[in-house]
Amino acid sequence: MTIEVVPQDLIASRFAISPLVETMHAHWVLAGHFPAGVHGPWSERRREAYRRLADEHPVLRAAAAISGNAGAANVSFIAPPPTAADVPFEEELAAVRATPPAQAHAEIRRVLAQRPPVPSWVRELLLGPEVVARFARAYEALWTRILSHDWPRLRATLQRDVVHRAGRLAAYGWGTALEDLSPQVRWRAGGRIELELVSPGRSVRLDGKGLLFLPSAFVGRIGAYLEDAWPYAMVYPARGTGAPERAPDRHLAGLIGRSRARVLAELAEPATTTQLAALLGQSVGTTGGHIAALRRTGLIAGTRTGRSVLYARTPLGDALVNG
């Protein structure tokens, strides 16, 4: 399919991180609908906890009929695109709870009509009067008991991807921003984004509304929200998901200490103190102390972006890491 863009779409497009959408993606992995990939060890550790949750909330099993179906229709109400750059999970869940049951039932019927017949208990549960509340309770439990424990690390990965991708879009335009997004995405001269999705021949015009980009740590393929009821959005695999730890050179670790060498190695890409602490499994105070020492010696430099400071290696830091 094709997404047609105009110059105004560049200004209107934005990036966002959605803990609720990531909860849905984690659900797909834990339920076995999507391959675990780099999250294999994580899913094995969390599998038993998920089974207990699915016993308590049968809607998690019934969801397979209407959500997480690659190459088929899916409902949107259980995890709509976020309305801001970094919305808290509780705020997103409140929006789900506010979904009118008639809207949820209309989405469910539309998807079920395109799918093979489902067991009667699944249909009755999904078309019951409490379906919105059931999904909200199930995803709240999934978030609280499983995903929230891993969220600081996952969020740091997603934030770094957003900084990288948004900077490329603003500085160099669509072609550069999309060139390594996914093999499923191609930029064509004349203002067209081509997607290898399930709607061959379909064309969508943004008409200046822009596109919402949502990085995901769990999905390995491009997904899209292209219904008029929601902002047009594209979900894509985040850079650095499952990347091996950047091990510092042992000689460098001997010179400045292993922890500071790890920070310096990780700053091959810019990051904030909070992001580094989450990625390295350290406290913010400990990481801040290492950053201060590296900054005093001229190995890293900080640039303020809004309320945060983004740190990156200086040429001297690059030279030291590269030997």
pLDDT in tens, the chain (323 residues): 788 888 888 888 889 999 999 999 999 999 998 888 888 888 999 999 999 999 999 999 999 999 987 666 789 899 988 878 888 999 999 999 999 999 999 999 999 999 899 999 999 999 999 999 999 999 999 999 999 988 988 888 898 888 888 888 877 888 888 887 888 888 887 777 887 765 556 788 888 888 889 999 998 888 877 776 567 888 999 887 755 455 567 778 888 888 898 898 888 878 889 888 888 888 999 999 999 999 999 999 988 877 788 888 898 988 888 87
Euclidean distance between CA atoms 265 and 252, whole angstroms: 10
Six token digits for residue 292:
């201060």
pLDDT of 224 reads 79
What CATH number is given for 250-321 in this structure?
1.10.10.10
> What is the radius of gyration, based on Cα positions, of the chain?
21
Six token digits for residue 48:
């038993």
Helix (H) or strand (E) holding 52: helix 40-56
Q: Where in the chain is the domain with CATH 1.10.10.10?
A: 250-321
Residue (of 71, 78, 73, 72) closest to 27 by Cα position: 78
Contact 76, 225 (CB under 8 A): yes
167-to-162, 179, 250, 290 alpha-carbon distances in Å: 8, 14, 33, 27
pLDDT of 99 reads 95
pLDDT of 30 reads 95
Six token digits for residue 312:
């990156």
pLDDT of 186 reads 83
Residue (of 211, 228, 223, 170) closest to 6 by Cα position: 211
What pairing do the DSSP bridges indicate for beta strands 300-305 and 203-205?
Answer: unpaired
pLDDT of 71 reads 61
Residue (of 54, 46, 244) closest to 148 by Cα position: 46
